[in-house]
Amino acid sequence: MRTHISNLLARGPNQTTAFLTDPGVEPLAEMLVAFANADGGTILIGITPEGDVTGDVLGEDVEAVLLQALGLCRPPVATQWGQAELHGGTVVHISVVRSPELHSLADGRVLIRHGSENRPLGGDAIRQLAATKSSADFEAEPVSGAGRADLDDAIIEEHLEKRAERGRRPVSGTLDDYLSSIGALTSEGTPTVSGLLLFGKRPQEFLSQSGLVFVRFLGTEPRGKDGLAGYGRRAELEGPLARLLESAWNVVWEEMRVGAVVVGLRREEQPEYPSFAVREALVNAIAHRDYRLSGRRVEIRMFEDRLEVISPGGLPGYITVDNIVEEHFSRNPRIVAGLFQWGYIEELGLGIDRMIEEMLQRGHPAPEFRATPYSFSVTLRNVREHRPAPAWEHNMNERQMRALAHVREFGRITNRDYQAICPNVTSETLRLDLSDLVSKGLLLKVGDKRGTYYILK
C-alpha cells in the first residue's frame, strides 16, 4: 500500500486521485459525491496540493469527519479507508467506488469528478447522468454458459505483470479472489462481461459483438466502380481486448502510407496519421462502446483521404460532442481500468486533447466527432492543410514573439510557462497576450482552467 500511495502522489491529483490537506466535512463530502458519480478513485488526506505530507493527520480524526461527510451524501457513498506511514508522517486514504446510483449533497448539488476538479452539473446533464446510472452496468453481468476455464491464465498473468510495473501493490489471496475483487468473476465464480472481454480465451464465442472489422477502401467512397465491392483488404479481428487492440493497430499500421520530411540534416519518416491519434481513437472505441448492442462490432474504415473509427452506442452519461474535450465519463469503468493496467490508457480524460493537438501539429484538420443515439465515430483526415502562415502583425509585442518561440521549441505553452518567461508582467496582461495570439490565428487554445495550454495553429 505504501508503494501504491507513493505512486499516486507522484502522479498528482487527477480523474481518480484527490489530495486534501485537512479533513474538512464539506470538502470531503463533495469529493465523495464527485468520485461516486464518476469513475471512483482515492482521496488522500494529509497531503498539500503540491503533494507534500503534512504529518499532522490522525486516522481516528479522519474517521469521525468521514462519518459526518457521509451524512451529507444522498444516498450515502460506499467507502473504505485506511492509513499509511510515509516519510513525513501519516496519510489517510479513502477509496470510493463508482456507484450505480446518482448521488447528491444534502443541499441538492450534484457533482462529478472532472480531471483534478469537482464540477457541479446542471439540469440537463443531471438528467442524462441519472438515465445512464439507472440502467445496470452491463459489464458486471455474468455471462451465461461461461466458466472459469474460459479465462486465459496467460493473459491474466500478463495483466498482473503490467499492473506491477505501474506500482500497484502485490495481489493477496488467490487469483480467483483477485478476479472477483475487480469484477471479472462473480461470487459464484462465473466470468462477467468485463472479465471475459479482458481475459477470455475466445470472448467472441459468447459475445460475438465484441470483435472488430477493418476495411480498406480503394477510393474515397465505400464502394467501387459500378457499385461493386471497392475494398482492397478486409479483416475480422477477434480475441481479448488487449489482443484486439494490438491486432487493430498492426492492421492500420500496415495499411498506412509513410512519407518523409527533412528536419535539419535528418530525414524523418512520417506516417499518414499521427500514431497517438490513431491509437486513441481505437482505444476509445473498444473501451467505451456499448457492449449491450449485439450484432454490431467496432468498425475501422480506411479511405484514401480519411480514417473512420465507428463505435456502437451513443456517447455515455452526460457527454456530448460539444463537451467531449472538457468532460469525462466511462460507460465501462472495469474495462477502462483493465486497459489502464495494460498501459493503453495513460490518464483518464486527457486523450481527446492530445489527439486534437497531434493532428493539428502535423498539419491535418482536427478530428471530426459525430454522435447518434446508436453510434459514435471519429474521423481523421490525411489531407494536410497547406495554408500560408499568418503574417506577422506590426503591433505584435516582444513578449508575444518570445511566447511563439517557446511554442516552436517545446510544442506548447501554458500560462505558468509564460509567467516564467516574463516574470515582471502581470498575469492578466499575459493572459491578454495569449488571447490576442489566438484571435490572430497563430495559437490554438486547448483545455480549460488550470489545464489550459496553447499550441501553434
24-55: pLDDT as tens digits: 999 999 999 999 999 899 999 999 998 999 98
Q: Which helix (H) or strand (E) holds 443?
A: strand 443-446
**Closest alpha carbon to 370 in 298, 439, 320:** 320
Which residue bears the cell 495570439?
Answer: 437
The angle formed by the CA atoms of residues 407, 367 and 361, to the nearest 5 degrees, is 20
Is the fold of 2-121 the same as that of 209-381? no
Residue 350: the pLDDT is 67
The pLDDT mean for the chain works out to: 87
What is the CA 188 to chain-centroid distance, rounded? Answer: 32
316-327: pLDDT as tens digits: 888 888 888 877
pLDDT-based confidence at residue 386 (cuts at 50, 70, 90): very low
Looking at domain 209-381, does it have CATH number 1.10.260.40?
no
**Hey, what CATH topology would domain 2-121 get?**
3.30.950
Residue 45: the pLDDT is 95
Rounded to a whole number of angstroms, the distance between the first and last alpha carbons of the chain is 44
Query: Where in the chain are the domains?
Result: 2-121, 140-208, 209-381, 398-456
Cis bond upstream, residue 13 (ω within 30) = no
Residue 261: the pLDDT is 56
Given a contact cutoff of 8 angstroms between Cβ atoms, the answer to whether 86 and 6 are in contact is yes
Residue 379: beta bridge partners?
308, 368
Q: Which CATH architecture has domain 398-456?
A: Orthogonal Bundle (1.10)
Angstrom CA distances, 229 to 216, 237, 296, 327, stand at 11, 20, 20, 40
Q: How far apart are CA 310 and CA 141, in angstroms?
A: 25
pLDDT-based confidence at residue 230 (cuts at 50, 70, 90): low
pLDDT higher for 155 or 136?
A: 155
Q: How far apart are CA 134 and CA 397, in angstroms?
A: 55
